Structure 1
Amino acid sequence: MEWLKHLVKCHDKELKELRRLDEYYEGEQALSYMAPELIQELDERVRQVVIEWPRLVVDSVEERLDVEGFRFGKQADADAGLWRIWQANDLDEQSQQAHVDALVMKRSYVIVGANEDDAETPIITVESPLEVHAEYDPRTRAVAAAVKRWVEEDDDRKIDHATLYLPSSTVWFVKDEKSNWVEDPDNPRDDHGLGQVCVVPIVNRPRLKRPGGVSELKPVIPISDAACKIATDMMISAEFHAIPRRYAIGVGPEDFEDEQGRPVSALKRIAGRIWAIAKNKKDDGVELGQFPEASLNNFHETLRLLAMMVASLAGLPSRFLGHATDNPASADAIRSDESRLVKRAERKQRAWGGSWEKVMRLALLIRDGEVPDDARSLETLWRDASTPTVAQKADAAMKLYTSKIVPLRQTREDLGYTQAQIDRMQEEDTKAAESAFERVMAGDLAALTGPKPPPEPVGPQPPDLQPAGVNGGAAAGG
C-alpha cells in the first residue's frame, strides 16, 4: 500500500506536464503571446491558427523506426520464436504507438504478462505514460516498482482501478466508496516470484540526472507558440488590412442604420470596413475614399525564419517545413540534408533496441521460467533509417556479396526485405538446388552450367540475320 500511494502521488505530480505535451502533438494547445485584454475583447471571434510543427518533428523521426526482428548473438538469422510472439501481440502496430508517446511525452511503457489461454505466447501490451508510472532503483537503475491506473465507468459512476507491479508479485487495487484504495476482491494477487518487475520503460533522451527522459518537443514548443501567434495575427491582419479599407468624412453614428432604421453597432461598422468621422457643423459636405491594402510579407518572412529555427533544432531538412527552391534537389543533396535526421533515428534505434530486448527477455522468462545465456546478447533488428535509392542499395549490396564480405542472407537484409520474404527466398533457393541436383544425378550435366544456349540457325537466313561476309554482307570485299 505504501508503494501504491507513493507511485500515485508521483504520477499525479507530472500528469499536468504530460497532458500539455500531448496537447502540442495533437494541435490542441492554447494560444500564447497574445495580450489578455485583446483576447477578452475579441472573445470567440478569433480562432487560433495552429501550425503543427511538433507533430512534424515527432513523425519525421518515428517514421524511420521499424523493428524487423530479433537475433541471438551467435545466430545469423532472426529468431522465429521471438518474432512469432511479437506478431501475436500486434507489436508491429503497437510499437509505433510506443515510439510516438516516448518522443512526445518523454517515455512510454511495455508490460509483459502470462497468457492463460496460450502459455507459449506471453501477453505484451504498450502503455501510455498518462496511465503508467515507474520508479527506478538508484543502485541498479532497474525498475523497482510500477503502477498502472485507469478509470472504468459502471452504472453512471466511475470506478478507479490500479495495478501495482513489484519484483515478486502483481497486486490489483480498486477504490471503495470512501475513495480509499483496497485490494480488488475480483482479482487476487499474483505472487509470480520472477524477481523482476514486468514493466519496461521506453525512455527518450535519458540522462544521468533525468532517467525519466526529455520530450523531443521541448526545444520546439516556444517556437511553435510564436509561429501560431504570428499566423493568427496574419489572419487578423488579413481581415482588417489586407482588404482595402474605406472611409467616410462628414458622417456620424446616426447615419448608420439597418433596414428597420435601427442603429448599427460599432462592431458591424468595423466588419463593414468603413471608418467614419462625425459631421462638422461648419461643413455639411461628405467625403468618401479608400486606403490601399496592406502587404502581409512581414508575417511571411517571420514564419520562414521560425521554420528555419525549427529545422535547425530538430535536424530536419528545410524542405520538410515548406522551404522550396526553383531547382529540385539532387539525390546527393537529399541524403546530405537528411544526415542529422538519420543519425538521430539511429540513436533512437540503439537506445530503444535495448528496451525491446528487455521486453523479449521478460517474455522468455515468463514462457520458459528462465532466460537462456545467449539471450543476454540479444540484438534488435531495425530497418535502415536512411533513404538511399533502390539502385544504390542494390549496387552496394551486390558489391559486398560478390566480394564475399557478407553472406547472401545479410545481402537480402541490407536490401530491405522482411524476414518472412528472406525465408521464402531461401526455400526457393533450396528447391532450385535440389532440382538441379536431381537433374545432374539423372545425367543432365547442363544443370551444372545453367541454361543451354539457343541453337544455331539452320537454312537460308534473311539478310539482316546472315553473318558478315556472306552473299554481299558487310564484310564482303573488305
Structure 2
Amino acid sequence: MARSEQEWLTHLIQQHDQCKADLLSMDSYYEGLQPLSYMAPELLAELSDRIRQVVINWPRLVVDSLEERLDVEGFRLAGSALADKRLNQWWQANDLDEESQLGHLDALIMRRAFVIVGSRTGPDADTDDDGDEDAPLITVESPLEVHAQRDPRTREVQAAVKRWSVTEGATKVEHATLYLPDTTIWYERDGGAWAEADRDDHELHTVPVVPMVNRARTRNRDGVSELKDIVPLSDAACKIATDMMVSAEYHAVPRRVAFGFSEADFQDEQGRPVSAFSRVVGRMWATEKSKLDGADVVQFPEASLGNFHDTINSLAALVASLSGLPPHFLGLTTDNPASADAIRSSETRLIKRAERKQRAFGGTWEQVMRIADRIQTGEWNPDLRGLETIWRDASTPTVAQAADAAVKLFAAGIVPRRQTREDLGYTQPQIARMEAADEAEDPMARLAGPNPAAAIGPKPSPVDQQIVADTVAEPAGPAESRPAA
C-alpha cells in the first residue's frame, strides 16, 4: 500500500515508540542502571532505602570485549592491493575513527545502529569551516533516535525517520527528518501537528539511511542484542551480591545475646539509659551482674559467605560459556595458572565472534561509501560493488609471534610485502609512508627486498653483498650469452 509522506512519518514514529522501551532496557543494563531483580517486594518494603544494589556489570564486559576488536582501517577496491585514498579522506573528514566505535557499541547493545549519508549543504549539514566541504556528510546515529522499515521482499530500507527535540526557553520544539528513496523532508512541531520545514528532492532512488544490525536472522532483520542471554545471569549475580552484603552486615560478624538483663540494668552513673542491644561492631559490653544472678552473655559464631562466592563463580562460568569470553576475563582462576598457549586458545571463540561482527558491520560501511560516492559524483559507480572493508586483526598474538609468522609467509613468497605489513598491524597511512620510503631506496636494497633476511633480518654476509652488487652493476644477458658455471 502506497503511503503519503505524512502517513510514513506517523507510521514510523508509532513503530519507533513501540520498540524504544526494549532499547532503553538494554541500554540501562550496559550502563549498570538496571533495577534489582529477584527481591521479594515485602523485603524491599521493609528495608526501604537501607538496601543498595550491588551491580556486577557483566553486560558491559561482554560488549566491550567484542567492540574493542572492531577497528576499521580503510577500504579497498576490488582488484586493488591499495586502500582507496579518497574513501579514507571521507572517513577522516567525518571523524569516523571515533564515531564508528559508537555505532558498533550501540549495535551490540541495542540490536542495531544507523548511519545517515548526506551532503554538507542541507538544512542539517555541518556548517563549520573545517576544510571538509568536499566530503559527504556521514553521521552515526542511535536507535533511540532513528528507526527504519525494510521492504519484506528486497530487504532494502523503504523509509526512515530521525527524531530529536530542542528546548527553546520554555518551549520544547520537536524535530523529525523523514528519509524516502527520492526525498528527504524536515519537520517541526511545538505541541501541534507536524509542519514541513524544508525538503531535498535528491533523486537518489535509495534511502540514505543504512542500518548496522547485530545478529540479524532471516525472520528478524532488526537484530538481537548481544546482552539477551546475559541479562538473566547478570540479574541473578546482582541479587546474590546484594544478598551477600546484607548478610555481611547481619551475619558475617559475631553476634551477642544477653540473658537475664533488662533495659534498667544498662544505665550510666547519672541513670541515663545506654545501648543495651547495640549492633555496632567492636562495642565492649560490661555489667556488674554475674551468672549466679541468672545473667549471661553469649556470642554466636559468624556465618561464612562462601556460598555466595560459589554461586557468583558458577554464574560467571555460565556467562563465559554463553558469551565466548575467556574465563580469566571474568576473574575465574585455578590453582595452577594457565599457560600462554592455553590463554590464547581460550580466546578462540571470542576472536571468531569478532570476525563475524566485522563481516556484518563491514557490509554496512561498504554501502555507506557507495551512497556517499553517489552523492558526490551524481551516479552509481559499478566498481564499488566489490568494495572491501579493511579491518584490524581481531586476534591478540604477541608481537614476536606476528612478526615471525609474517616474515615466514613473505619469505615463502605466499604474500607480498604490503600484505606482510598489514598482517603486522601497521595502518594504511603508515604502509603508504613505508612504500614511499621503499621507492627512495637504492637498487641494491630494492633487489634484496624480497629476501626477508636482508629486508628485515640480519645483515647479509660480505659474499652475498658482493653477489648482489655484481648483479646490479652488470645485469645478465640471455642465457646463451652467459658463461657456463
TM-score by length of 1: 0.85
Cα displacement (A) at 1:436:
7.2
Would you say how many aligned residue pairs link Structure 1 and Structure 2? 432
CA deviation profile, 1:303-349 (whole Å, cap 9, x unmatched): 00000000000001100000123443323212210000000000001
Q: 1:256 to 1:120 in 2, by over 3 A?
A: farther
Asked if residue 26 in structure 1 is aligned to residue 31 in structure 2, the reply is yes
- The match for 1:442 is none
Partner Cα distance (1:352, 1:211) in 2: 14
Partner Cα distance (1:272, 1:260) in 2: 25
- The match for 1:338 is 347
Partner Cα distance (1:339, 1:261) in 2: 73
Partner Cα distance (2:313, 2:80) in 1: 50
Asked if residue 197 in structure 1 is aligned to residue 207 in structure 2, the reply is yes
Q: 1:405 to 1:272 in 2, by over 3 A?
A: closer
Asked if residue 216 in structure 1 is aligned to residue 251 in structure 2, the reply is no
User: AA paired with 1:339?
Assistant: T
- The match for 2:303 is 294
Secondary structure of the 2:440 match is helix
Cα displacement (A) at 1:119:
5.2
1:299-318 correspondence to structure 2 within 5 Å: 299-318=308-327
Partner Cα distance (1:417, 1:288) in 2: 72
Asked if residue 130 in structure 1 is aligned to residue 144 in structure 2, the reply is yes
User: AA paired with 2:195?
Assistant: V
1:223-302 correspondence to structure 2 within 5 Å: 223-252=233-262, 269=278, 285-302=294-311
- The match for 1:165 is 179
- The match for 2:170 is 156
Asked if residue 206 in structure 1 is aligned to residue 216 in structure 2, the reply is yes
Secondary structure of the 1:139 match is coil
- The match for 2:51 is 46
Q: 1:174 to 1:403 in 2, by over 3 A?
A: same
CA deviation profile, 1:237-286 (whole Å, cap 9, x unmatched): 000111110111123456668999887899x8556799x9xxxxxx9632
Secondary structure of the 1:243 match is coil
Cα displacement (A) at 1:28:
0.5
Secondary structure of the 2:441 match is helix
Q: Over aligned residue pairs, what C-alpha RMSD do you find?
A: 2.5
Partner Cα distance (2:64, 2:110) in 1: 14
Q: 1:261 to 1:383 in 2, by over 3 A?
A: farther
Q: Is the 8 A contact 1:176 1:182 kept in 2?
A: no
Q: 1:242 to 1:98 in 2, by over 3 A?
A: same
- The match for 2:78 is 73
Partner Cα distance (1:343, 1:260) in 2: 76
Partner Cα distance (2:152, 2:263) in 1: 74
Q: Is the 8 A contact 1:436 1:448 kept in 2?
A: no
Work out which of the residue numbers 155, 166, 189 in structure 2 matches 1:141.
155
Asked if residue 408 in structure 1 is aligned to residue 417 in structure 2, the reply is yes
Which sections of structure 1, spanning at least 5 residues, go unmatched? Answer: 277-282, 438-445, 452-478
Q: Identity percentage over the alignment?
A: 61
Secondary structure of the 2:199 match is coil
Work out which of the residue numbers 101, 116, 120 in structure 1 matches 2:134.
120
Asked if residue 449 in structure 1 is aligned to residue 483 in structure 2, the reply is no
Cα displacement (A) at 1:370:
1.6
Q: 1:35 to 1:369 in 2, by over 3 A?
A: same
CA deviation profile, 1:48-70 (whole Å, cap 9, x unmatched): 00000000000111111000010
- The match for 2:450 is none
Q: Is the 8 A contact 1:246 1:273 kept in 2?
A: no
Asked if residue 389 in structure 1 is aligned to residue 398 in structure 2, the reply is yes
Partner Cα distance (1:134, 1:316) in 2: 32
Q: 1:166 to 1:244 in 2, by over 3 A?
A: same
Partner Cα distance (1:272, 1:330) in 2: 44
CA deviation profile, 1:133-186 (whole Å, cap 9, x unmatched): 0000111100110001011011022111111111011111111343x21112xx
- The match for 1:35 is 40
Q: 1:165 to 1:424 in 2, by over 3 A?
A: same
1:350-365 correspondence to structure 2 within 5 Å: 350-365=359-374
Cα displacement (A) at 1:388:
1.1
Cα displacement (A) at 1:450:
6.3
Q: Is the 8 A contact 2:120 2:133 kept in 1?
A: yes
Asked if residue 183 in structure 1 is aligned to residue 196 in structure 2, the reply is yes
Q: 1:415 to 1:262 in 2, by over 3 A?
A: same
Secondary structure of the 2:138 match is strand
Q: 1:177 to 1:296 in 2, by over 3 A?
A: closer
Q: 1:194 to 1:42 in 2, by over 3 A?
A: same
Which sections of structure 2, spanning at least 5 residues, go unmatched? Answer: 1-5, 122-126, 286-291, 447-464, 471-485
Partner Cα distance (2:347, 2:37) in 1: 31
Cα displacement (A) at 1:374:
1.1
Secondary structure of the 2:211 match is strand
- The match for 1:101 is 106
